[in-house]
Structure 1
């Protein structure tokens, strides 16, 4: 039933998939990855053999083939067995760096059983595809030479599978996922009443409709510190922070949602604040309280933040299937805000910053138009966990100084663009900032940032350099398998504890905001005090105890 050579190659792929990558994997994700890698090696080898036979090239048969398979089987089984034995050690080499407990020893059996189930399921699907190939080549052989029929049948089978998968299975799954997220967005807790203060989004006089705001927006509007908590922390008078949010359900058109947000900004006096932040949410519309809480403490509540939701999907899914949604939304909003801001008297207008996390960072970067803003630039930008396709981020990386690491580059004299991580603060060089301050916060263990499509056939650039402290020294490159590992890493990127992977810690937001916004009169003592109430006990936001 099984072909021996493809199975042996699949076992090599499976053994390689047991090595560590960027995010620790539990037995469930490891089992899915091992089964998928085994199937990938099997299918790739079968495809090569099918193409070989289709071209009617010579192959080993009979006793020579059995001897060759037996000779190959011994080292392959040794390699796979070694991988299974060491898999726990390899995973713990990441977990220890992230402060996570070691894996339980009884997980190996569950992992192997799941891998077998996944492989068998994929194998059955593969046999169905093989049957399709044979059907097509036999039909074509009636009209064209056998060799041409074999090659064309193989290509047609591949095209049919790709088309059905993309347009049928994937799109159908996306419609189901999108519908479930839409339903979840409208599950309003009856115990959570709309805001009553007129300056809050979702209140009775607001342009933002509470029931259409979605749970991420409601959490953002109701969360965060009030003026009394900020004043208790700083010992100085504080203002109520303004949080403006428009939900995706409020209008189908991004321009209309942007107009509503802009009208809300004018209504509540957002342009009268000291600091104005145009923020882009993550794919689901989530606004990380670790970032916004910290900023409001740092500036005594004299902050207005505006955001508009553009998707219901998680960022990795929205990145693939709703690529333009976030770009269109933040561009429409930024155009309105910037045009109004730049016509205000320079001495009266707020300091204007762009901000985004994850997919929000990518879309926020897209709204930064240097040709439009060259004469009147914004004050700065703070982008966190920028996804790997981000054009501006890639351009900045390409301009890094020779010898500076790919995961934490240095660009020119660091006057305009800086990078920071949990181990390297933004002001570590001691050099002064210029007029415009743009900061990227990224962790070397974040696969959303450092996924590389070319890892299908070559090691990513960051893997060819000395590895960062949050990356396992056991990490290694294997064609195809590394691509699968990084794909799985992206799916579970937020399962890492705060300060690793795609889970950004409040302490790093604090350092970032202080560096980018340069708060007047702020002291190092206040920084440490703020860190003591932010991101504690696994919570995202800040609590003034």
Structure 2
């Protein structure tokens, strides 16, 4: 009889877990394969079960009667049957919902075994988390039973809860988290191919070559890819039908110097050595967490300006952007601040009529860091010419202020800001207008409506983000719905999967989509819409390789 009563009261956790499992199958921004969907569903199901268990504990703590007999059986049926029907319906639609996102992103349909495989993974994850929960419960029970010998039961329960919490913090922080972070740092450091692991230096190279202030071995793989990539003068001249110059690309690796200030100083000295301040356009760029810079963006700009472009960037982390944002927040901000300050300090000493036009640029975490370091008030006496910030992460304060200032009739994911003389937004379908109509400074944001790095909202745990209260954009599923708690976990997983989306969606920014924004911001002389169309065709071979096909 006791077992029956216990099972009767456990109906609530199981039902809540089932509802959360069903809700997790609904679509979000990024398509999910059966494995990631199974992991998400198992985690969310465990969260629902945990909430139900908390409700049961509260019921018992208040001394309320537990259901039994005929009433318990009817209650279980009344609660369980609708949940079973809901779960069956959502499982039936799960593949359809995922295919709805995939079609909008030009992907093929999900595999036929998507749903059965997902269910198996979800149940395994749920059971593992359930076992972990029972282990924590056992630890709590052990602690409070020991304390019963020396203090009253109520005090022992509170003390046991505190001790269990402290034990979990110590274990996860010192026993797990520190080792995970150290392992990640080591793995990404190895992936940089530094020093002894560095590949042979090319015969002809500026940054890291003969006479350079930058060591080839300390550049790291992202830096080497940046300085050796991109179009050369011959390819640019052939495309434009006019003489061109070899672009200048300066990059300083994290291993080059100990401090952000020293790395910034080296970057400026190397830029001076190569004649970067004598070019038409000078771009100060902040890379993503690992040090990667999107080749499509720089290739586009160099083709537009006949190669008369100098770009400078400094690495500040080896970790992926989400990890760098959480674990090395200040590193990116410090490096951005020092680099922009150092470049601008030399730039302001040059005659205004002969110095290059100065632009700030960054993608993802690089956008966030460079945005933070660009103090527009400090620049009023001698302002920069503009900035292009791509895929700005949701914590970006300046981006949030710009979105909040949008016209009332414009959408959250595709804002229009008043006269558009200072700030504009571009998307895959709207390139932000042409070079006409700007003021002194030109600030452009490029973002995709399906990018969860941009549109994640921590408050989605309990309320719908602003963009979910509007009609969905063309690349967002019309079946997307806000569900408390569940949406939070869906969007968090979307962020982890953001770069797995096809080019032009999610956080995978595509070379052709840089053309309109860079044209609007830098106004290349003699550049026409026909030129943009030709360059778009040249770049339309995948964002990973940029536009250097010549």
Verify the 8 A CA contact 2:511 2:543 in the aligned structure 1: no
For 1:175, the equivalent position in structure 2 comes to: 182
2:408 aligns with 402
Residues 1:406 and 1:167: Cα distance change in structure 2 (over 3 Å): farther
* Equivalent residue number for residue 464 of structure 1: 469
Whether 1:33 and 2:52 are equivalent positions in the alignment is: no
Q: 1:436 corresponds to which residue?
A: 441
User: In 1, are the aligned partners of 2:296 and 2:543 still within 8 Å (CA)?
Assistant: no
Match of 2:450 among 431, 438, 445: 445
- Within the candidate set 509, 512, 515, 2:514 is matched to 509
TM-score (norm 1): 0.95
Query: In the aligned structure 2, how far is the partner of 1:460 from the partner of 1:96?
Result: 24
| Pick aligned residue for 1:291 from 289, 297, 309 | 297
Matching residue of 2:3:
none
- Find the residue that maps to 1:353 and give its secondary structure: strand
Residues 243/113 of structure 1: CA separation in 2 closer, same or farther (3 Å cut): same
Deviation at 1:167, TM superposition (A): 4.2
Q: Which deviates more, 147-156 or 521-530?
A: 147-156
1:5 Cα deviation after fit: 2.2
Alignment match of 2:494 (pick from 465, 489, 492): 489
CA distance in 2, matches of 1:406, 1:448: 15
SS across alignment from 1:206: coil
Query: 1: distance between equivalents of 2:538 and 2:325?
Result: 33
Q: Structure 2: which 5+ residue stretches go unaligned?
A: 1-5
Shift of 1:441: 0.4
The counterpart of 2:211, out of the listed 205, 209, 228, is: 205
TM-score, length of structure 2 as denominator length? 0.94
Question: Structure 1 pair 49/170, CA: closer, same or farther in 2 (3 Å)?
Answer: farther
Aligned pair count reads: 542
| Equivalence for 1:218 | 224
Distance 1:187 1:93 in 2: 43
Q: How much has 1:190 moved relative to structure 2? A: 8.1
Give matches, 1:534-545, under 5 Å: 534-537=539-542, 539-544=544-549
Structure 1 position 84, deviation (Å): 1.1
Aligned to 1:24: 31
Determine the C-alpha separation between the residues in 1 that align with 2:158 and 2:38.
34
SS of the counterpart of 1:438?
Answer: strand
Contact 2:511 2:540 in 1 (8 A): yes
Aligned to 2:106: 99
**Which whole-Å deviations, capped at 9, do the CAs of 1:254-287 have from their partners, x for residues lacking one?**
1111111111111111111100000000011101
- 1:260 corresponds in structure 2 to 266
| Residue 123 of structure 1: how far off its partner (Å) | 1.1
Shift of 1:157: 3.1
Instruction: Measure how far apart 1:292 and its partner are.
Output: 0.5
Report the CA distance between 1:82 and its aligned residue: 1.2
Higher mean Cα deviation, 215-224 or 167-176? 167-176
Deviation readout 1:318-353 (Å, 9 max, x if unpaired): 111111111111111111111111121101110000
Q: Determine whether 1:68 maps to 2:52.
A: no
Q: Corresponding residue for 1:50? A: 57
3-state SS in 1 of match to 2:545:
coil
Please identify, of 535-544 and 520-529, the stretch whose mean Cα deviation from structure 2 is larger.
Answer: 535-544
Question: Deviations 1:60-114 (Å, cap 9, x if unpaired)?
Answer: 2433444422321111111111111110000011011000001011121111111
Aligned positions of 1:82-161 closer than 5 A: 82-161=89-168
Instruction: Give, in whole Å, the separation in 2 of the partners of 1:144 and 1:52.
Output: 25
The alignment status of 1:352 with 2:358, answered yes or no, reads: yes
CA drift of 1:59 comes to 4.5
Residue 270 of structure 1 corresponds to which residue in structure 2?
276
Q: Call closer, same or farther: CA 1:127–1:434 in 2, change over 3 Å.
A: same
Structure 1 residue 313 displacement after superposition: 1.0
